[in-house]
Amino acid sequence: MVSRSIPGAEGVVAFGKVDRPEEAINFDFYGDPRARITYSGRFFAFALGGEDRHQIGIAVANNPECIGALDPGRRLLILRESPKQAGTYFNIADNDQPNGPFSAADLYSIFNGGDLNFFELETIAPMQIDKGVVAPSSLVSRTSILRGETESLERYLAAEVGLQLTPGTSGPTLVACAT
């Protein structure tokens, strides 16, 4: 797993592109952020910030293409991509998992630090087994960080990812575009 902690989550909108997003999100982590998540087509948006600590995972079985975050305050767009790899994906949560470590097989995770005031966009490598023993895993992941005027970043996101995402005071507006 490779994590990128970014300070200050207030006003940031995280998102993902995945098959059947309503089924793809694993809520086995911290808090219940469902009220902060919206869906459109193959996309979900997760309004970050606030005092609560939240985390979601995105199931590898639902063919996730990418996750990212739009931070209008810093004029940043962050995209993370990691292809599905051979191996065993398992629940990476560090809290108690009543359904066991194989209750979720996530390729991505998004963490909102709440009062810790940061967020993470994580890509997750599968566990490798060699002759019955856990072997070193390797992660293939690409992170793109773009900086510019928010409107330009929104146009880039629509053109390259197919997502029209506009942060707003009452939550993000989320529209799947034809690409």
Residue 178 pLDDT greater than 60, yes or no: no
What is the Cα–Cα distance from 72 to 12, expressed in whole angstroms?
7
Phi, psi of 43 (to 5 degrees): -120, 155
> If we measure between CA atoms, which residue out of 75, 99, 79, 103 comes closest to residue 90?
103
Q: In terms of residue numbers, what domain contains 148?
A: 5-176
How far is 173 from 150, CA to CA, in rounded Å?
A: 14
131 CB-near residues (< 8 Å, 6+ apart): none
Read out DSSP for 15-46?
EEE-SSHHHHEE--SSS-GGGGEEEETTEEEE
Per-residue pLDDT reduced to its tens digit, 34-61: 999 999 999 999 999 888 899 999 999 9
Q: Are 14 and 46 in contact (CB under 8 A)?
A: yes
The model's confidence at residue 176, banded by pLDDT at 50, 70 and 90, is low
Looking at the structure of the chain, the number of domains it has is 1
pLDDT tens by residue, 52-104: 899 999 999 999 999 999 999 999 999 999 999 888 887 776 766 666 676 67
